[in-house]
Amino acid sequence: MRKKIWLISLLILFVTGLLIFINPNQMFTKLILRITGHYETPQYETRSSVLSVVIHKNLYYDRFYRLKNYTAFSDFQRRKMIQIPFVQIYNREKNMLSLASGSECKWALMDFFNQRDSSKLIADDTTMYENVMKQLEPIEIKSNLDTFEYYIIAGWAKYAPRLSDSLFIETNKIKKSLNDKICISYINFDIQKDWESEMDSLQHLSKKNMN
């Protein structure tokens, strides 16, 4: 009897996981994620509301940003960069060495910094860092130094609490162990209250173009 219950539970988990993978934007998927604590209904946020989260979590970071406007948010969406959590790793010259999103972030961070010699890695992209930075607005800058060996850009959101927390745990470990060798920059991906007028204008323009 116990074995039968275990098999049924395993089947339910498998089907649920499959549905989430196939239809990540569907109502049923969001309901499952909300029940499991992986998703909350997005709210308008402010600089202070997102900053309060990282302070409460005792997060170690060097720079904390948000997207500068809704246009930047839309650009990140178009490029499929708003995935929670989200990690990019760069070398001293700001050339990208690795990137990952979702559940892969934890393993990507662990694998990268457990390598004995990461200096032999070939940089994939030499322009991404600058392009990302152009879309950001600083919330808090603790260090402006440009002498770090590695730079991590990590994205998170309040509406994805568990996934964001898993990212925070790993980045805190890395910051504690490498400290001055690594610069960690966080980007908050929540919709900001400051963008309301811009969003209304774009919506109005869209309706006008459809008529």
* Per-domain residue ranges of the chain: 2-35, 47-196
Q: What pLDDT is stored for residue 20 in this prediction?
A: 44
User: Which residue would you say has higher pLDDT here, 119 or 51?
Assistant: 51
CA distance 76 to 126: 18
Determine which of 8-17, 76-85, 115-124, 200-209 has the lowest per-residue pLDDT on average.
8-17
CA distance 179 to 168: 15
Query: Please, are residues 150 and 92 in contact by the beta-carbon 8 Å criterion?
Result: yes
Q: Is the pLDDT of residue 67 over 80?
A: yes
Terminal-to-terminal C-alpha distance of the chain: 62
CA distance 87 to 132: 12
* Burial bucket for residue 198 (CB in 10 Å: 0-12, 13-18, 19+): middle
Q: What pLDDT is stored for residue 10 in this prediction?
A: 41
- Mean pLDDT rounded to a whole number for the chain: 79
Q: How many CA atoms lie within 13 A of 203 on its CB side?
A: 7
Q: Is the pLDDT of residue 105 over 90?
A: no
pLDDT band, very low/low/confident/very high, at 17 (cuts 50, 70, 90):
very low
Q: What is the pLDDT of residues 35-57, one digit of tens each?
A: 445 568 889 999 999 999 999 99
Determine which of 8-17, 130-139, 142-151, 174-183 has the lowest per-residue pLDDT on average.
8-17
Query: Please, are residues 97 and 110 in contact by the beta-carbon 8 Å criterion?
Result: no
Q: Kindly report the pTM of this predicted structure.
A: 0.76
Give 111-145 as a DSSP string.
Answer: HHHT-S-GGGPPPSBSSHHHHHHTTEEEEEES---
Query: Please, are residues 151 and 86 in contact by the beta-carbon 8 Å criterion?
Result: no
